[in-house]
Amino acid sequence: MTNPFFDDDRELSNDELRLTELLRQLLNLSTDEKSAGRIVLLAPDGEFVGDAKLSARDLETVTDALMAVNTYRTDLEEATRPAAPLPVEPLTAGEDDIAAVGEEAEAFLKNGGLY
């Protein structure tokens, strides 16, 4: 796909296509002529892609949408982060403890597997 935002008539890379689609979406936000700000998009090599004048409402809409995306991404990253391992107390069984376990096992077996 060629694009009117770039000077030459070559095929656009995926990154250039994303930039032009972002510009298109910014331009399509509203038809409000009152400009509260302007966004200029440049390609990675510094080539001018385009600019969009945004109204105050457009700026608010874009800011709110990006905050929602960033919050979602942060929540998703935290939800998929592996949990830290639980602390494990070192096992310090004495002879009395071992004997008690043996006695419980013996009583369990004598009762046919019932307590």
Helix, strand, coil in percent for the chain, rounding step 5: 50, 10, 40
User: Where exactly are the structural domains of the chain?
Assistant: 14-80
pLDDT at 11: 82
Q: Between 60 and 5, where is the model more confident?
A: 60
pLDDT at 25: 94
Contact 3, 12 (CB under 8 A): yes
Confidence of residue 27 (pLDDT cuts 50, 70, 90): very high
* Residue 87 pLDDT exceeds 90: no
pLDDT tens per residue across span 89-102: 777 767 777 788 88
The mean pLDDT value for 40-55 works out to: 91
Distance CA 44, CA 15 (A): 9
